[in-house]
């Protein structure tokens, strides 16, 4: 797959992305328009993402469940904002077992409605609360413009759903899960996301408040990488999710939902990737290390492969995810390119001379050429590899943060905003008025991404002081917000 080169990111970022997803064998186009197949390498990456998130969900007391794919069409109509948001995107089953159905069924675009329906049966008393659930599944939204991982008719995600006795508890949960996403993104995926609050125009259909984590891609555009919604009592009222409180009074629950999807893989590709291909963060890479044996004849092959297998076993024993490329008929150079395309963080090159010296060459994916190569003794290889993987992880985060900060502009005027959103984020005062937001969107194609929770962290030390005025209308600013073109 690595024979043909990618276009460079500077030439055509979008086409670089499309080709990379295919060439790295992360995913492919399905025979149904807008659907994707996640191939083994892409799914292994998703499994590592799942593992890291699921661990965090369980540590915060959530339990996994499975609600069905099929939802009565009438359910979606019970919450007025929800129906407005999702009606245009529904896929509808009208025939089952050869017969027309009395009530059409929709494929879940998200599960608030069916979960609300069941909670109304399961939740009776304050003793039953809180209910903390999550499910790993796929959902279907009939999108018109699709792109692998970023927007597909069917996509994979987790959707968390919780019910609480009080507003405060539900608000705390919403922010806790935003924190879980932020921690995951930064510490596992090396993506320096900005957690913040969405505007009313951009919030989830049915939420009182939506929070998101926003990331900057390699072309300066924004990507919403996860969302956490405070749903107030909207769904609890629509589905009569009530409980008897300690004083014997019936109360509506307060609910939340939060999700992170395979879209996040798109973020990983576009944040860390370079012109040679993927660059995967070690902590979630399917393979952290690839061993490429180098030999010219059968005798050399025997010696090199024997040692390569020993190294593989040693690294695997140290819980390092390692593969040995034993493919016949391909040169080491071809293999180097192939694994660079696939973004394996560390390559071990092993030839007869290395074996003789009991050493190997370690080549870092994040630093091309000689600069990223070191000789390492085979004696303490697992420790050396672990140290290097940790360094690579840190370096990816630092690089992404530097990139984001240097492309985030403290835009005090509308002209500055217009210029900033050509290739990055504008961080600007905003009066909080939806009409200014709408105008900015119409005129610049930039949307209000979020109001960052930590206003100082966005620009970093020395990033300049806040403007007190709305970047559009000049009225006093209620907040500072990030404006950017987005995926």
Rounded CA gap, 371 and 75, in Å? 59
Q: In what order do the strands lie in the sheet with 359-364?
A: 322-324, 289-293, 346-350, 359-364, 373-377
| 44 forms part of the interface with a copy of itself (CB under 8 A) | yes
Q: Which of 7, 22, 60, 154 binds a copy of itself (CB under 8 A)?
A: 154
With beta carbons less than 8 A apart as the criterion, state whether 367 and 350 touch: no
Pick 39 or 81: Cβ nearer a copy of itself: 39
Pick 145 or 370: Cβ nearer a copy of itself: 145
Pick 30 or 390: Cβ nearer a copy of itself: 30
Which parts of 159-178 interact with a copy of itself (CB under 8 A)?
none
User: Residue 206 phi/psi, 5° resolution?
Assistant: 120, -5
Size of the site for a copy of itself (CB under 8 A): 57
DSSP three-state, residue 80: helix
Q: What is the DSSP string of 431-442?
A: ---HHHHHHHHH
Which stretch, 76-84, 150-158, 178-186, 203-211, contacts a copy of itself (CB under 8 A)?
150-158
Which parts of 119-148 interact with a copy of itself (CB under 8 A)?
121-122, 127, 133, 137-138, 140, 142, 144
| 19 forms part of the interface with a copy of itself (CB under 8 A) | no
Rounded CA gap, 360 and 378, in Å? 7
DSSP three-state, residue 349: strand
Contact letters for a copy of itself, residues 288-317 (x by CB under 8 A)? ------------------------------
Rounded CA gap, 353 and 376, in Å? 13
Sign of CA dihedral 139, 142, 148, 149: negative
Contact letters for a copy of itself, residues 68-107 (x by CB under 8 A)? xxxxx--x-----------xxxxxxxxxxxx-----xx-x
H or E stretch covering 225: strand 222-230
Minimum Å distance from CB 188 to a copy of itself?
19
Contact letters for a copy of itself, residues 318-357 (x by CB under 8 A)? ---------x-x----------------------------
| 30 forms part of the interface with a copy of itself (CB under 8 A) | yes
Pick 107 or 280: Cβ nearer a copy of itself: 107
Q: In what order do the strands lie in the sheet with 194-197?
A: 63-64, 131-140, 154-164, 254-261, 222-230, 209-216, 194-197, 447-452, 479-484, 425-430, 408-409
| 379 forms part of the interface with a copy of itself (CB under 8 A) | no
For a copy of itself, the binding residues (CB under 8 A) are 28, 30-32, 35-40, 43-44, 46-47, 63-72, 75, 87-98, 104-105, 107, 114, 117-118, 121-122, 127, 133, 137-138, 140, 142, 144, 153-154, 156, 327, 329
């Amino acid at each position: 797959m690595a024979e043909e080169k990618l276009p460079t990111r500077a030439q055509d970022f979008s086409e670089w992305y499309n080709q990379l997803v295919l060439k790295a064998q992360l995913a492919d186009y399905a025979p149904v328009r807008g659907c994707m197949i996640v191939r083994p390498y892409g799914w292994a990456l998703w499994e590592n993402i799942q593992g890291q998130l699921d661990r965090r969900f369980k540590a915060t007391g959530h339990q996994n469940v499975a609600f069905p794919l099929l939802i009565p069409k009438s359910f979606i109509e019970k919450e007025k904002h929800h129906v407005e948001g999702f009606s245009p995107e529904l896929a509808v089953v009208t025939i089952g077992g050869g017969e027309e159905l009395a009530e059409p069924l929709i494929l879940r675009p998200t599960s608030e409605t069916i979960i609300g329906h069941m909670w109304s049966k399961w939740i009776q008393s304050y003793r039953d609360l809180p209910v903390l659930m999550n499910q790993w599944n796929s959902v279907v939204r009939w999108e018109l413009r699709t792109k692998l991982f970023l927007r597909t008719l069917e996509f994979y995600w987790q959707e968390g759903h919780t019910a609480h006795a009080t507003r405060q508890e539900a608000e705390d949960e919403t922010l806790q899960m935003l924190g879980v996403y932020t921690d995951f993104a930064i510490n596992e995926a090396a993506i320096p996301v900005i957690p913040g609050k969405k505007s009313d125009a951009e919030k989830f259909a049915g939420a009182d408040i939506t929070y998101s984590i926003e990331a900057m891609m390699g072309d300066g555009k924004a990507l919403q990488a996860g969302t956490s919604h405070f749903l107030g009592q909207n769904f609890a009222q629509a589905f009569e999710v009530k409980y008897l409180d300690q004083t014997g009074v019936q109360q509506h629950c307060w609910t939340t939902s939060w999700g992170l999807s395979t879209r996040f893989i798109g973020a990983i590709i576009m944040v860390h990737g370079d012109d040679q291909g993927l660059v995967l963060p070690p902590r979630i890479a399917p393979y952290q290390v690839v061993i490429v044996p180098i030999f010219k004849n059968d005798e050399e092959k025997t010696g090199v492969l024997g040692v390569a297998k020993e190294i593989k076993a040693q690294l695997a024993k140290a819980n390092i995810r390692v593969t040995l490329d034993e493919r016949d008929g391909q040169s080491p150079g071809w293999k180097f390119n192939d694994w660079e395309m696939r973004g394996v963080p560390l390559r071990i090159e092993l030839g007869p001379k290395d074996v003789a010296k009991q050493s190997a060459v370690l080549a870092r994916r994040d630093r091309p050429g000689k600069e990223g190569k070191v000789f390492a003794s085979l004696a303490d290889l697992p420790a050396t590899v672990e140290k290097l993987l940790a360094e690579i992880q840190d370096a990816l985060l630092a690089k992404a943060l530097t990139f984001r900060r240097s492309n985030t502009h403290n835009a005090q005027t509308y002209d500055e905003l217009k210029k900033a959103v050509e290739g990055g984020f504008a961080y600007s005062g905003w009066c909080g008025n939806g009409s200014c937001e709408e105008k900015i969107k119409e005129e610049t194609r930039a949307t209000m991404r979020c109001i960052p929770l930590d206003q100082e962290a966005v620009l970093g030390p020395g990033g300049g002081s806040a403007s007190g005025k709305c970047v559009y209308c000049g009225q006093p600013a209620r907040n500072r917000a990030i404006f950017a073109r987005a995926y």
